Structure 1
Amino acid sequence: MPRDYEILMAFRQAVKRDALGRYTISTADFVRELERLNWHYTLRAANKWIEMHTTTFRDISTREGEERVFQLFNPNG
C-alpha cells in the first residue's frame, strides 16, 4: 500500500532555516529524510518531486548538477 504521506512528511522535515532567516531545502537533505522512511529516491527524482508538488519553492542553486537548493518564496509579491 502506498505511503505517499511519508514523502510530504520527509519534505517538511528537510526544510531548514538559514542564517538570513530564509526557509530552504536541499535535495540531499530531502533524499536523506526519505531514506529514513525507507523511500529510495535519486537526486534527480527528488528534484522532480519538488518541482511537481510544490509551487512556493524556487531553485536558488549556485552550482550545476543534481544537488540543488530551493528557497521558499511568496508568489504574490
Structure 2
Amino acid sequence: MARYDDIAAYRESIRISSQGRRTVATVDFVQNLAKFNHHFTLRQANEWIEIYQCSFKDVSTEAGDRRTFQLLNPNNGEF
C-alpha cells in the first residue's frame, strides 16, 4: 500500500499542459519524494508509478529510467 507521503509527492509532481494533459516526470517525482525524506532511485519511482497509478501510461520518448507518464482520458481510455 502506498504511503501518504508518496501520494502527496506524486500529486505535487503532476504538471498540466496548456492543452489540459496531465503528465508526471519521474525526475520530478523523485525530487518531491526527497522533500518528504523518502529517497527513491528513478527505477524505484518508475516501479511505484506502474504499481500504484494505473491510470497513467508511459509516453517517454527516450530509453532509460527518466520516464514521463500521462493520464489516460477517462472518457474513452485514450489520450
TM-score, structure 1 normalization: 0.91
- What are structure 2's unaligned runs of at least 5 residues? none
The residue number in structure 2 matching 1:49 is 48
Distance 1:66 1:75 in 2: 26
The residue number in structure 1 matching 2:59 is 60
Aligned AA (1:68): R
Distance 1:20 1:64 in 2: 25
The residue number in structure 2 matching 1:31 is 30
Distance 1:19 1:60 in 2: 17
The residue number in structure 2 matching 1:72 is 71
CA-to-aligned-CA distance 1:27-72 (integer Å, 9 cap, x gap): 0000000001100000000000000001110000000010000000
The residue number in structure 2 matching 1:14 is 13
- Three-state SS of the structure 1 residue aligned to 2:54 is coil
- What are structure 1's unaligned runs of at least 5 residues? none
Aligned AA (1:52): I
The residue number in structure 1 matching 2:39 is 40
Count of aligned pairs: 75
1:75 is displaced (CA, Å) by 5.4
